[in-house]
Amino acid sequence: MRIVFIADALDIQYAGVHVYTREIIRAVTTLDQKNEYILIRPESKNQYEGIEEVIVPLSDKIPMHRGIRQYGAIPSAARKLNPDIVIEPGHFGPFFLPKKVKRVTVIHDITPVIMPDYHIFMSRVFHKLFLPGILKRANHIITNSEYTKSDVTTHYPITRDKTTAILLGKDESFKRDPQVTFLQKYNIKKPYLLYVGTLEPRKNLSRLISAFEKLIDNGICNHQLVLAGKKGWKIDDLYTQIENSSAKNNIVLPGFIDKEDLAGLYTNAEVFVYPSYYEGFGLPILEAMSCGTPVITSNTSSLPEVGGDAALYFDPMSIDDLYQTMAKLISDKNLLLEMEQKGLERAAHFSWEKAGRETIALFESL
């Protein structure tokens, strides 16, 4: 078979969809020597040995060029390749392909549909207008967790018989890395509590800051709170809260962390806290567990599916519940060691090889 990946996320995204696209392409092209794989992407990087790349440039000088490419240049390039399967790992597409071509769409979450207040206006509009048609035309849909599969099939019943959950894997670079020389680059000092992810309302960072203030004010700890990640949308209120916080001198915003520093950042954190209201999978908690870092996360959406018994959970609507959970873990060295070991054992159950084999089997079934 000839299988085409629309691989825009490799070049224009930096968070979970980028990681998924990068790792699933690496897994299937390494494991599968039978089928032919081709990538359509905006930039030529040749990061996968022996895999053909078709470059469809993306210009920031042309208004709405990303959408124009999705509906025009990318389908045109795909049709010329005469593919058997076209897979869109980034949620939107594929579009305008002959009926003989099997379409696979990967859905990471449908929060613009079920939690619209946490998304920008255009994202809500595009999901409302286009997602039903995308799912209807897809020959198969991959979700990144059973929870996301349930969301998709509940809101779009037409997908019930053509949706498969394939859990994500862990990047093998995420393992214990105790070196600390890089911390100075980000103005981070041990001990610290850590969050990694985009800074945006859905991540519930306001309650995390409020719970952290209580830890400092009540003398439970004198740690730093490191909020690492790119700025998302609607974060002015978050910055105002930090500026007015009684713990502002303990809060560090290092921005995007270079990949070579991430394992060390997780390893050296005393606790990783992921307070998000909703996640399709929650890759950062798997990364943290892979580095032996105790995890506290919300008891909602897919997060318990990923964390299992290797994380401590709290109600994301309750500042006090988060405070109590953090205080309990920070104050109990035996519990810290127990959660560290449980996390390492839990992380071992996730692999990109497993995800790759399941994806190849899905391609074969189509």
Residue ranges covered by each domain of the chain: 2-169+351-365, 181-347
In whole numbers, what is the pLDDT of the chain averaged over residues? Answer: 95
The confidence score (pLDDT) of residue 323 equals 98
Determine the Cα–Cα distance for residues 300 and 277; give it in Å rounded to an integer. Answer: 7
Is residue 224 within 8 A of residue 189, CB to CB? The reply is yes
Q: What percent of the chain has pLDDT over 70?
A: 100
User: If you average pLDDT over residues 276-280, what whole number do you get?
Assistant: 95
- Write down the CATH superfamily of domain 2-169+351-365: Glycogen Phosphorylase B; (3.40.50.2000)
The CATH homologous superfamily of the domain defined by 181-347? Glycogen Phosphorylase B; (3.40.50.2000)
- pLDDT tens-digit map of 94-109: 999 999 999 999 999 9
Residue 120 has pLDDT above 80, yes or no: no
Dihedral (CA of 230, 234, 235, 238) sign? negative
DSSP state of 69: I
pLDDT band at 60, cuts 50/70/90?
confident
Q: What are the CA-CA distances from residue 86 to residues 2, 3, 105, 329 (Å)?
A: 9, 6, 9, 46
pLDDT at 180: 93
Q: What is the mean pLDDT of residues 203-225?
A: 97
Give the mean model confidence (pLDDT) for residues 222-251: 95
**Amino acid sitting at position 42:** P
Fold equal for 2-169+351-365 and 181-347: yes
* pLDDT at residue 234 greater than cutoff 90: no
Interacting residues of 186 by C-beta distance below 8 A, sequence separation 6+? 226, 228, 252, 254, 257, 261, 265
Whether the predicted pLDDT of 118 surpasses 80: no
Instruction: Sheet with 36-41: list strands edge to edge.
Output: 52-55, 36-41, 2-6, 85-88, 102-107, 140-143, 163-165
